[in-house]
Structure 1
Amino acid sequence: MRVFVAGGAGAIGRRLVPQLVARGHEVTATSTGEGKLALLRELGAEPVVMDGLDAASVRRAVAAARPDAIVHQMTAIGKPDMRHPERSFATTNRLRIEGTDHLLAAAEAEGVPHVVAQSFAISFGPHTGLLTEDDPIDPGPVETVRKMAAGIIHVEEAVVRAGGAALRYGGFYGPGSSDDVFEMVRKRKFPLIGDGSGQNNWIHLDDAAAATVLAVERRAQGVFNVVDDEPAPIGEWLPYLAAAIGAKRPLRLPVWLARLLAGEFAVTLVSNGRGFSNARTKQQLGWELRHPSWREGFKHELAADSPSHTHS
């Protein structure tokens, strides 16, 4: 197949492109500037400069590539800001809304039959079991969280409506992932709030890429949770990671103080995050995890001197 990877130079794109090439697909991969074109070429792709927020740029790139499938991996996440997370995600939200619409319009205009897009496994609410793909993303009542989630919700609704697949990735760790959360843990800037019962969902980049390849090859439709087998309470993974990297234990703050110092988003993230089930993805796509647990995965990456971190 001819596969067009929008955002091919990003953390997951750098793992996805070689997997697609290894399976015999012809890959065109995009970057926002000239600086990463050589990297994309080394990975085996035909590199293209494209601005995902410019409809004409997207249309030209897709028309030239004549792909059989489009994979949307465009993000531009800034430095973590617990108090104002919407600032870190402003451009990414635009890419998830405007960029998604541009890619879908180009796909329709050029007759591209299938689109696979990046979503994110994050939802807040009562802890009443693991979320499946039938459960919608619930941003909860906090306005900053609702702004962040707007792009994720748009991706899922628009891509599924167009007959494509939206992949709810867990937090990425592995080669090329962001060092920001790792540094926050090392500097004790990521506190453990209350009992830390809120859950995160992790996924190694290589496992995420493998699920994406399967979604492309099987022309998957609908929403798929791409997370590992062990949803992770923050009260468990945060001190585990700190110990693994030789950092001091995270600071522990009561909820009332964390709300004052770190803001409502930090409290919501650490207290109310929900865990996701990957059962449907395994069953329908035949997906097998190389790193079924973040515990083993963190150890593996740290032993390889490749710190394990998140995107969020």
Structure 2
Amino acid sequence: MHVFLAGGTGVLGRRIVPLLVAAGHTVTATTRDEAKVAMLRDLGATAVRADVYDAAALAAAVRESGADVVMHQLTDLSAGDFAANARVRVAGTRNLVDAALAAGVRRIVAQSISWMYEPGDVPAVEEIPLDLHAPEPRRTGVEAVAALETAVRELPEWVVLRYGLFYGTGTWFEPRGARAEAARSGALVADADVTSFVHVDDAATAAVQALAWPSGPVNVCDDEPAPGRDWLPAFCRAVGAPAPPESGAPRSRVARGADNHYARKHLGWTPEYASWRAGFAALA
């Protein structure tokens, strides 16, 4: 299979490329940075410089690649700019989907997130609607995710990977990451809000396996959604931060975590790190 990977040098892309190559796939991968072209080639991909906001150039790149499937792993969070990341989800996805449709590509696998579901008391399954009636500022993020997922559904075959919160090398949740710095400064508070995590290596494995999955959204997260009062002290220990301050505030019902039963039991995805407990310990 020939995969056109948009976002080949991101925290997931650079893990996904060698996995695809090892599985026997041909890979064309994009980057905006000329300095990263050599890295993609070293990983085994054909590198293409492409800006997702240049619709004509992107369409030409997809068409000329001759790809069978498009994989969308584009984000813009290196500077912590959530508005820029929302723009990628809306405008960038629109251009990528249009390019895939124009090239006759039938299948797309796209990165989404698992914490935009409607409020609830238990971890969300895929059938739960997105929280489109949320107040701002949450609504802007939910609407961007909804725009991405709606556009992706225009292809005949599509898989939306609703990832848990990433941790591991290159993410915000690692010893040199932004959340570790915040933990060491005492800025993170252990509260009752529930989070679902996924190690980035497990997230990359899911993306490759999704090439053969049936159309639909899939929660890609570990087995243990957990409140901050459980996971944050473990994260602090792993990154050499002091014990975090604690909050007695009740749990926000939008911070419910996500259920990975479908991916595990019906699609056969088995994360190496079944819980953040083992994953965080491996960071130390």
Cross-structure match for 1:184: 182
Q: Does 1:166 align with 2:160?
A: yes
Cross-structure match for 2:19: 19
Q: Distance in 2 between matches of 1:14 and 1:56?
A: 25
Instruction: Find the partner of 2:196 among 201, 211, 222.
Output: 201
Q: Distance in 1 between matches of 2:60 and 2:113?
A: 28
- CA deviations on 1:284-303 (whole Å, 9 max, x unpaired) are 3221111100100111132x
Q: Distance in 1 between matches of 2:88 and 2:119?
A: 30
Displacement of 1:177 in angstroms is: 1.7
Q: Distance in 1 between matches of 2:71 and 2:4?
A: 6
Cross-structure match for 1:301: 283
Aligned length: 279
Q: Does 1:122 align with 2:135?
A: no
Q: Distance in 2 between matches of 1:167 and 1:138?
A: 17
SS of aligned partner of 1:47:
strand
- Bigger mean CA deviation after superposition, 238-247 or 25-34: 238-247
Cross-structure match for 1:245: 239
Instruction: Find the partner of 1:152 among 133, 136, 145.
Output: 145
SS of aligned partner of 1:252:
coil
Residue type of the partner of 2:276?
W
- CA deviations on 1:106-142 (whole Å, 9 max, x unpaired) are 1111111100100001136654222111012226633
- CA deviations on 1:183-204 (whole Å, 9 max, x unpaired) are 1112212223xxx121111101
The answer for unaligned runs of 5 or more in structure 1 is 81-87, 256-266, 303-312
- CA deviations on 1:164-219 (whole Å, 9 max, x unpaired) are 11100111112222311121112212223xxx121111101111111111111x15
Cross-structure match for 1:214: 209
Q: Does 1:93 align with 2:83?
A: no
The answer for unaligned runs of 5 or more in structure 2 is none
* Contact 1:201 1:276 (C-alpha < 8 Å) held by counterparts: yes
* Contact 2:31 2:47 (C-alpha < 8 Å) held by counterparts: yes
* Contact 1:119 1:169 (C-alpha < 8 Å) held by counterparts: yes
Displacement of 1:48 in angstroms is: 0.9
Q: Does 1:278 align with 2:278?
A: no
SS of aligned partner of 2:76:
coil
Percent identical across equivalent pairs? 39
Q: Distance in 2 between matches of 1:137 and 1:249?
A: 34
Q: Distance in 1 between matches of 2:69 and 2:101?
A: 11
Give the TM-score normalised by structure 2. Answer: 0.92
Q: Distance in 2 between matches of 1:95 and 1:280?
A: 27
CA 284–58 in structure 1, closer or farther in 2 if over 3 Å, else same: farther
Q: Trace 1:229-240 onto structure 2 (pairs within 5 A).
A: 229-240=223-234
Indicate the structure whose relative CO is greater, using CA pairs within 8 Å and at least 6 residues apart: 1
- CA deviations on 1:35-84 (whole Å, 9 max, x unpaired) are 2111111111111111111211210210121101100011011544xxxx
Q: Distance in 2 between matches of 1:247 and 1:219?
A: 40
Q: Distance in 1 between matches of 2:169 and 2:106?
A: 32
Cross-structure match for 1:289: 271
* Contact 2:196 2:226 (C-alpha < 8 Å) held by counterparts: yes
Give the TM-score normalised by structure 1. Answer: 0.84
Residue type of the partner of 2:236?
A
* Contact 2:121 2:253 (C-alpha < 8 Å) held by counterparts: no
SS of aligned partner of 1:39:
helix
For the aligned residue pairs, the C-alpha RMSD in angstroms reads: 2.0
Displacement of 1:9 in angstroms is: 0.3
Displacement of 1:243 in angstroms is: 2.0
